[in-house]
Structure 1
Amino acid sequence: MLPSIEQRLALELVCKPVQVAAAIALLDEGATVPFISRYRKEATGGLDDIQLRLLEERLRYLRELEDRRSAIIASIVEQNKMTPALLDALTHALDKTRLEDLYLPYKQKRRTKAQIAIEAGLAPLADALLADPALNPEDEAAKYLREPFTSADGNNPGVLDAKAALDGARQVLMERFAEDAALLAALRAHVQEHGVVESKVVAGKEDAGEKFADYFDYSEPISTVPSHRALALLRGRREGMLEVVLRLDTEPEKPKWDAPHNPCEGRICAAFGIKNLGRPADKWLADTARWTWRVKSFMHLETELMGALRERAELDAINVFALNLKALLLAAPAGPRATMGLDPGLRTGVKVAVVDTTGKVVDTAVIYPHQPRNDWEGSLHTLGQLAAKHQVSLISIGNGTGSRETDKLAQDLIKQRAELKLTKIVVSEAGASVYSASEFASRELPDMDVTLRGAVSIARRLQDPLAELVKIDPKSIGVGQYQHDVSQTQLARSLDAVVEDCVNAVGVDVNTASAPLLARVSGLSSAVAQSIVSYRDQKGAFASRAALRAVPRLGDKTFEQAAGFLRVMGGDNPLDASSVHPESYPLVEKILADLKKEMRAVIGDTALLKGLNPARYADDKFGVPTISDIIRELEKPGRDPRPEFSTATFKEGVEEISDLRPDMILEGVVTNVAAFGAFVDIGVHQDGLVHISALSNTFVKDPHSVVKAGQVVRVKVMEVDAKRKRIALTMRLTDSAPQPGSKPEQRADRTDGKRMAQQQQQQKQAPAPGGGSMAAAFAKLRG
């Protein structure tokens, strides 16, 4: 008997079925992953949010599998074709691929050539030749001639001559061979191991498809094609620039018809006892096996395996996007400091917005320091006045067009008005324009010009990246590659989960949070979030978590899911500002009674709290894991898991690619992390690339283990290609830039296996990354 869904998930997650069953029950009741991982540890045995997200995704797949299994069994039973052996095979199929293989012969499909041949009575001819190759095909075929006729399924051409009879019999055998589940599985395994993805440029598209130049003459085993290359290949094919095919590694060129059987054709022959013993029907049967492979099986597998490659590549790309998004959302907040946001522009001017410590807009302006007006001094005067008037301490500069010139303007302002003690930071403005034109921005800043809203967003995302970025569709934040090439449904689901996890990990001040931020809190819908804001606007700030129960449409279940993640700062109960759930307040009172101390005397007393034994307070409702969490929270209530705020300082005089020199050491900010390395903003309008082989002196399998988006890093310039706007960097500061005219490295990532082996060797010898390695890595951007 096939293990239950709970048992299968338990094996995958390496935990007990009872833990999985508890988690599934909670999810089915409407509990969110953040709530379950934080407040239901006893029920799930401590499954964390990563395990629960995987469980949630796999549960969806396995339930779809069971639904499909039931539908297939019902279909075959309805056709009166079910057998005990088939039912057993269907019942024990572990995945959708196996299930569909078994269903293939019974799947309702349009009238095929094989079905037409069977209608004409040619199945016995096919059976006879397969069973006894000593029969003469032409002589046997002559026995099956038939005039055209009409069957219940439509007109049938009949069997006009022996050739037509043999062609029909071949179609019968080809369909039978191609739909044999065991054989198909064996052929699939062989192609997965020995298949090669090959691409060529479409004739005449060399110039138009230049960005795909690395794939004009490319081949790689399908088992090793990394996600970024797979997505680039598929995009090149979709845009009509590349011809992409799958072939066997034993057939570098299209084989001739009379060539010896390839391994897959040989497997088909072996499966049905076809041998070349010189008998009359042997060649006909051998040709039938070849036809089966070339016309049916291989075409089916090519479509399936290239589809699987796409799905695998999409999943990898989505995971990279999710990791980068998480790093960006959990970037260090500058905190409640008056901030000036500068949205750079050249001809249209620099848009300026000043927000106070709470993020409220207090002033706006537009200045024209750049061409064509070149009002540098006037712009400095305006910025100086605004900064002094509103006690600005931070200048947030968007990294779009004109950012470097605007950064220089801010630097001059800092020098000119040293008494203001200003600090400037360049931030990613990805998604700011999307926010500016959004419905929420129209409600939040109704009387403000759309162009100025972007400056407001740029200022606020420095104060609190999480609170501001949740207002933007995660797909518009711009920390993923090939994001338009992947399943948008799956991407949205994954990114929404990341945003939900990040928001709930940090917690939300219910008295200052926007509706979009509240909508990401566990259990709160957009409607309820808006209801909270409306209630707050009408009645004033919430004095306690309990006061939330008065909000319309916020019922008991919603309160249970959300309350622990909502903070009431300076309220009646200090616990309301912590992550201690209201359902646990009686437990805290029990601890306080035991200690004979007041709440405020216990909170923050690390020595006292560390001396407590969680097991002392455990009961049927609260176990040791929950009590341990509560004690840790009492030590530092409402602690923010995000790092301390820090900034990168771009080097003065380095503003363009032309200013870069090999061996120059610079400070920069990681803007994106991909499978092949990290992109770093060093203040020259074009991000540089630190290839995976140059991230560390030790072997790096995953760049995310070394760097993350938003991280401040020190890098050394290795190579600069100003014409192609490519900058090769290294984080191994002891590396030396290659000398002019030196032989380029071999391409570092033609295949994953070669890349990893080469990378290990490079990191042992610590040579400088550059040449072909840089070109290969940068090719990932071309898509």
Structure 2
Amino acid sequence: MSQAICHLIAQELNVRPEQVTAAVTLIDDGNTVPFIARYRKEVTGGLDDTQLRNLESRLGYLRDMDDRRQVILKAINEQGKLTPELQADILAADSKTRLEDLYLPYKQKRRTKGQIAIEAGLEPLADSLWTDPSLTPETAANGYVDADKGFADSKAVLDGARAILMERFAEDAALLEKVRRHLQQQAELTSRLIDGKEEEGAKFKDYFTYSEVLKNVPSHRALALFRGRNEGILQLSLNADPNQEEGVRGSYCEVMIADHYGVTLGSQPADVWRKQVISWAWRIKILMHLETELMGSLREKAEDGAMQVFADNLKDLLMAAPAGPRVTLALDPGLRTGCKVAVVDATGKLLDTATIYPHTARARVAEAEATVLALINKHNVDLIAIGNGTASRETDSFVAALLKDNNLKVQTVMVSEAGASVYSASELAANEFPNLDVSLRGAVSIGRRLQDPLAELVKIDPKSIGVGQYQHDVSQSMLAKRLDAVVEDCVNAVGVDVNTASAALLTRVAGLNTTIAQNIVNYRDENGRFEARTTLKKVARLGPKAFEQCAGFLRIMGGKNPLDGSAVHPESYAVVKNIAAANNKALDAIIGNTDFLRGLKAADYTDAQFGLPTVTDIISELDKPGRDPRPEFKTATFAEGVNEVKDLIPGMVLEGVITNVTNFGAFVDVGVHQDGLIHISALSDKFVSDPREVVKAGDVVKVKVMEVDLQRNRIGMSMRLNDEPGQEKPARKPQDNRSAAPRNPSRNHNTRNAAPQGNAAMGGAFAAAFANAKKK
């Protein structure tokens, strides 16, 4: 890696260049980000997984740019036009945009009007008219008339001379950079309705007449605008002079072009023609080029923002508190088709299934009660998981009545069904339950995700979990890469029990792939449980490098070596033995011995191989070996009698669960089959720039109902419990609320996100924020 790249990344991450160099060397040697972040802190100076992910992404961009730089240098050199000054500029270029600007004049392209004019010998005329305004254009052009070359009169000649200059200006990298900087700071993005599209584009109403400074357009609003354009509803353009008074002709950018070339326009013979050259160069060449570029940059930035929202929400969902190893009865609610029931043991193994019809005739209800009661007693059920789809509250009421009538102390929890149907129909589910009905597989998934959300959700394509914002409007390959990284980091942060984990979960462990993960499961099936981490070396295709990467993240509970159940890497076991020996204690006597461990000084046990960060981590891990970093399990209690939107009354205070967080607010499930929107302005009494500062997916919160729109099935909520329905809220910038909400993640896993509308005031319509956010 070049030192220039190293220093640039270090500057961007605000770390030392040697940290970047070390991290890149480790990445290039095939080490995974989770492994580097956890077990190579001395080498990288303590770079965490987020810094390493950013480093890895930026490294790829800069290396691609370096490759492109070499291609450009070679191409220009082969043309014999690579001057020392141009070479220096290309080597100093700090972005792909700057590189392409410099390459533009030398890029092979189809013959243009300017090139044809140059071939006809009109370049001297263009230069003389541009530099000598005292010349009369028509008179000067007469000397260049040549019908055989396609320039039969002075008008055609002057058009050709103008084309030469226009193309020259449009390929001037220095000029483009000046104008680009101006537009980035001052230009406005404008949107107008395409004639005749009012009814068809009603969901884009807030953008029928819209403008906002380009640099201030947030990601969700930008993607809404681009969607409106793609659907043929909106016309987008760039206004380079938003502050210009009406009636003023021309653009400030034309002044910039004249200033760039030191041209002063007056009343000399060639000045009218020169002004026309500048105006046409701006409007026809430069503006069109930069508008396309800046729109593309805005979309790229917006997509990145949307993907980050999805990634953050996914991380919160995956790291949600597990209920733990408890026998669970899961119900996938339904009306006409009945409720699917599955019972799984403490390890997630399927024990029993059934289908009940508690929402039909009374006879069927009694039958359903008997079935569920028998399953609870037969398997000593400790938890009941109810999917939050259609008929979920009815099913919840049915279970509550059953438990009360039979005096049973079994905890009932409403569980998100997000992606359950995707898993049910997947090849993975078919291999796991080849003889089980697809609908019953969904019930199994609901039960398991209550026990351990991470272990179950890794079986589902992250994009199908549906906690994103405009997820269908972004690059699907980039989104998949970003989400896969989140899943990998979460799985390795928690650790995996190698004796119970599915192949899908093992695949996400650092250093493992689908083949090795399946080989681990096969070895376990053939030889019984793993008793030591070293046994993993016997698994087919799990070589030394893979073992190094994965061993610290795989747990063997109750094995021969107690350290195998911890996050201490096998390469560091010697450190623990030294600590035990130095204090005349047995290994078992120091693990979990808080008083002893907290009295140790990590510096006393460092050496050339294991530095202070590693020893500190080891002592911390010994204190609570194999500890789970996820929060304590807790659930929301939905209000009795509040089962549908029509049951809500403004002013009610309810408990609910945050299901999704977007740039403009958060969605909360209060148990009525339709998530309510807590607008960003109603999350806190203090100003909130990012909703994630206040809430994250899975949080249990108390909210006040502010607005109920039965006709459109929309609910406005507030976490400011002193707010009163209908009262005026602090004004926010109007554009901050032209938002679009995603579909409710717990209901529709693979449908488009919401249409782009919304309203600043909590008492307003929240039009787009709720559009398509309906329950299944």
TM over 0.5: yes
For 1:779 and 1:354, locate their aligned partners in 2 and report how far apart those are by CA, in whole Å: 36
Query: How far off its partner does 1:699 sit?
Result: 2.2
Which residue number in structure 2 is paired with residue 547 of structure 1? 535
Question: Which SS does the other structure have where 1:375 is aligned?
Answer: helix
Matches for 1:27-46 after TM superposition, within 5 Å: 27-46=27-46
| C-alpha deviation, 1:371, in angstroms | 5.3
Q: Deviations over 1:679-716 (max 9, x none)?
A: 00001111011111221222222111211101111111
Q: Does the residue aligned with 1:223 lie in a helix, a strand or coil?
A: helix
Out of 579, 594, 610, the residue aligned to residue 582 of structure 2 is 594
Checking the alignment, whether the CA contact within 8 Å between 1:224 and 1:752 is kept in structure 2 is no
Tell whether 2:601 aligns with 1:613: yes
User: 1:642: Cα distance to partner?
Assistant: 0.4
| TM-score relative to the length of structure 1 | 0.93
Secondary structure (helix, strand or coil) at the match of 1:772 reads coil
One-letter amino acid matched to 2:442: G
Partner of 1:153: none
Q: Answer yes or no: is 1:223 the counterpart of 2:207.
A: no
- Counterpart amino acid of 1:610? R
1:246 maps to amino acid: L
8 Å Cα contact 2:413-2:635 kept in structure 1: yes
**Contact 1:747–1:772 (CA<8 Å) still a contact in 2?**
no
CA distance in 1, matches of 2:171, 2:100: 10
1:575 to 2:584 alignment: no
Contact 2:221/2:738 (CA < 8 Å) preserved in 1? no
Q: Which residue of 2 aligns with 1:738?
A: 726
Report what 2:160 is aligned to: 168
8 Å CA contact retained: 1:199, 1:219: yes
| Residue identity in the other structure for 1:286 | K
2:195 is the alignment partner of 1:207: no
CA deviation vs aligned residue, 1:655-682 (integer Å, no higher than 9, x gap): 1111111111100000000111110000
1:369-398, Cα deviation, whole Å (9 max, x unpaired): 335899333222222222221111211111
- Paired position in structure 1 for 2:461: 473
Supply the distance in 1 between the matched residues of 2:195 and 2:478 (Cα, whole angstroms): 35
CA distance in 1, matches of 2:638, 2:531: 45
Q: Contact 1:274–1:285 (CA<8 Å) still a contact in 2?
A: no
TM-score w.r.t. length of structure 2: 0.94
Alignment pair present for 1:532 and 2:524: no
- Per-residue CA deviation, residues 321-340 of structure 1 (Å, 9 max, x unaligned), is 00100000000001111111
Secondary structure, in 3 states, of the residue corresponding to 1:36? Answer: helix
* Paired residues for 1:153-552 under 5 Å: 158-250=150-242, 259-370=248-359, 375-419=364-408, 421-552=409-540
Residue deviations 1:113-145 (CA, integer Å, cap 9, x gap): 111111111111111101111111111111112
C-alpha distance in structure 1 between counterparts of 2:363 and 2:702, whole Å = 33
| Partner SS for 2:211 | strand
Structure 1 residues 27 and 235: alpha-carbon distance in aligned structure 2, compared to 1, 3 A threshold = same
Q: Is the 8 A contact 1:231 1:310 kept in 2?
A: yes
Deviation at 1:413, TM superposition (A): 2.2
Unaligned runs of 5+ in 1: 150-157, 756-767
Instruction: Tell me the equivalent position of 1:154.
Output: none
Shift, 1:525, TM fit? 0.9
> Aligned residue for 2:747?
none
Give the secondary-structure state (helix, strand or coil) at the position aligned to 1:654: coil
1:729 aligned to which of 690, 704, 717: 717
Alpha-carbon deviation of 1:447? 0.6
User: Cα distance, 1:720 vs. partner?
Assistant: 1.4
CA distance in 2, matches of 1:192, 1:773: 33
The CA distance in 1 between the partners of 2:7 and 2:772, in whole Å, is 41
Alpha-carbon shift at residue 202 of structure 1 (Å): 2.1
Amino acid at match of 2:735: T
Instruction: Report if the CA contact (8 A) 2:188-2:242 is conserved.
Output: no
Q: Structure 1: which amino acid aligns with 2:33?
A: V
Q: Deviations over 1:232-274 (max 9, x none)?
A: 1111111112122221243789x98xx5331101111222233
> 8 Å contact 2:664–2:737 — kept in the other structure?
no
Following the alignment from structure 1 to structure 2, what is the Cα–Cα distance between the partners of residues 711 and 640?
A: 18
Structure 2 segments unaligned to the other structure (5+ residues): 740-759
Residues 373 and 350 of structure 1: CA distance in aligned 2, closer, same or farther (over 3 Å): farther
Letter in 2 for 1:181: A
SS class of match (1:571): coil
Match of 1:765 in 2: none
| 3-state SS of 1:234 partner | helix
* 1:148–1:355 CA distance, 2 compared to 1 (3 A): farther
**Whole-angstrom CA distance in 2 between matches of 1:372 and 1:75:** 79
Distance 2:323 2:168 in 1: 68
Partner residue, 1:772 = 764
1:746 to partner: Cα distance: 8.0
Is the alpha carbon distance of 1:251 and 1:284 closer, same or farther for their aligned partners in structure 2, counting shifts above 3 Å?
farther
CA distance in 2, matches of 1:276, 1:643: 70
2:138 aligned with 1:138, yes or no?
yes
Distance 1:553 1:372 in 2: 57
Conservation of the 8 A alpha-carbon contact between 1:657 and 1:725: yes
Q: Which amino acid aligns with 1:750?
A: P
Distance in 2 (alpha carbons) for counterparts of 1:633 and 1:745 = 48
> CA contact under 8 A between 1:232 and 1:780: conserved in structure 2?
no
**Which amino acid in the other structure matches residue 691 of structure 1?**
H
CA distance in 2, matches of 1:769, 1:21: 50
Offset of residue 751 of structure 1: 3.3
- Contact 1:395–1:422 (CA under 8 A) maintained in structure 2: yes
Q: 1:202 to 1:412 in 2, by over 3 A?
A: farther
1:748 aligns with 2:732: yes
Q: 1:224 touches 1:753 (CA, 8 Å); kept in 2?
A: no
**Could you say which residue in structure 2 is the equivalent of 1:155?**
none
In the superposition, relative to structure 1, how do residues 542 and 305 fare at CA in structure 2: closer, same or farther (>3 Å)? same
Give me the identity figure in percent. Answer: 61
Distance in 2 between residues matched to 1:480 and 1:363, nearest whole Å: 34
Equivalent residues of 2:339, 2:355 under 8 A apart: yes
What is the CA distance between 1:414 and its match in structure 2? Answer: 2.2
User: Which residue among 641, 646, 653 is the counterpart of 1:665?
Assistant: 653
Judge conservation of contact 1:718–1:769 (CA < 8 Å) in 2.
no
Give the SS at the match of 2:250: coil
1:185 CA drift (Å): 0.8
- The equivalent residue for 1:110 is 110
Distance in 1, Cα, partners of 2:503 & 2:128: 74
Amino acid at match of 1:719: E
Structure 1 counterpart of 2:544: 556
2:744 is matched with which residue? Answer: none
Deviates more, 1:140-149 or 1:225-234: 140-149
Query: Retained in 1: the 8 A contact 2:146–2:152?
Result: yes
| Aligned counterparts of 1:90 and 1:628: Cα–Cα separation in 2 | 47
Q: Does the CA-based 8 Å contact 2:682-2:762 persist in structure 1? A: no
Distance in 1, matches of 2:768 and 2:730, equals 9
2:633 matched to 1:633?
A: no
The CA distance in 2 between the partners of 1:684 and 1:374, in whole Å, is 27
SS at match of 1:354: strand
- Give 2:673's aligned residue: 685
Counterpart Cα distance in 1 of 2:371 and 2:773: 39
SS of the residue 1:693 aligns to: helix
Q: SS of the counterpart of 2:326? A: coil
Q: 1:652 to 1:86 in 2, by over 3 A?
A: same
Q: Is the 8 A contact 2:393 2:643 kept in 1?
A: yes
Q: Distance in 1 between matches of 2:733 and 2:332?
A: 38
Aligned length: 753
